[in-house]
Amino acid sequence: MAGPLSHIRVLDLSRIMAGPWSGQILADLGADVIKVERKGAGDDTRQWGPPFLKDEHGQDTSESGYYLSVNRGKRSIELDLADPDDQSVIRALAARSDILLENFKVGGLARYGLGYDDLKAVNPRLIYCSITGFGLSGPKSPQVAYDFMIQAMGGLMSFTGERDDAPGGGPQKVGVPIVDIMTGMYSTVAVLAALAQRGETGRGEHIDIAMLDVSVAMLANQAMNYLVSGKEPIRRGNKHPNIQPQDVFRVRDGHIVLAVGNDEQFRRFAEAIGRPELADDPRYATNVERVNHLDTLHPLICEVLESRDLDHWLKVLGEKAVPCGPINTVPMVFEDEQVRHREMLRELRHPLAGKTPQVVSPMRFANAPLSFDVAPPLLGQHTQEILRELGLAGEPGRAGGEG
């Protein structure tokens, strides 16, 4: 495979989203990612439907949309971790791998002789990344976690959603499993940093990534707003807490997102909407004052924007280089001319459906182009292929899908 990690092998013992998201990133970058799945059952997300991918006759396959979103580019092997023979396969794979991803309960793999210390003895250069809900230490470390509950526990939902006194107000989760995704991103950064360090020291690493830690880190400006002011962040709907005007505004035939980021942009915005005097008004001339006087500025902007259609405002604001945009539906996203130009949506060959859509990696490399050729694997699709590579194919008790 192409890509800057084409010399790297990843043993992916994770399931659901956070670990598999990291594994998919590494696969997109060219790594050989071997996905270990429970024999006869596979990754939990295979059953997380509907919807399911349809075959060429329009019938549901066993491949859920959720599973297909996070396992591109991998090879699947079915193993039973309680089986000593299959444990030996894991050790053999670990001996030949650079990176291992796992998201078992704390101590879960150690029960099978597959913990970090066990596999470090097999391969001292192995980078072993443990992804858990709460980390490998601390009072909550034994507990199981899912994205939704961590969005709540980590503070994200306390300031996400419409304000409590408005229609629909109350705590709201993000519409994708954002903590899982960001945990996968942090895991990827961590294993690549450890890979770079290994190039200098020759030693592997044990990485401890906790979803709750990631959620706390993601509080970003909201956390610092609280820490420097002592004021608890609150739900504001779409209003930005630090920069104005940034909000969703109603126009005559729908809505527009306005994302004015500095005073010069506000001046251009004021000119574009035919109210240039707003930029010279001391209440609105600077961002600090706009935030402080949003109660009077916001109604003024609403009145003007509601007078014309979306296309008009996109045109005149675009001509003034004022950051703004429509609120696209998901189908509209994939029809966007820029998204189409960037080829973010591709189709890969699939053994059951003929082809499957894939939203591919946003990373682009001039000298090591990425290749998107391998669809998310069927359960155990590469079991025999991988066992042959290990010299174990054909042994008693070895069974599985054909590569």
Q: Which residues are catalytic?
A: 180
Residue 78 φ then ψ, to 5° = -90, 125
β-strand 246-251 against 9-12: which pairing, if any?
A: unpaired
Q: How many residues does the chain have?
A: 403
How large is the greatest C-alpha to C-alpha distance in the chain, in angstroms? Answer: 83
Burial 126-151 (b: 16+ CB within 10 A, else e): bbbbbbbbbbeeeeebeeebebebbb
β-strand 60-64 against 345-350: which pairing, if any?
A: unpaired
Distance separating alpha carbons of residues 6 and 155, to the nearest angstrom: 38
Measured CA angle at 81 (ends 79, 82), to 5 deg: 125
For residues 36 and 8, the answer to whether their CB atoms sit within 8 Å is no
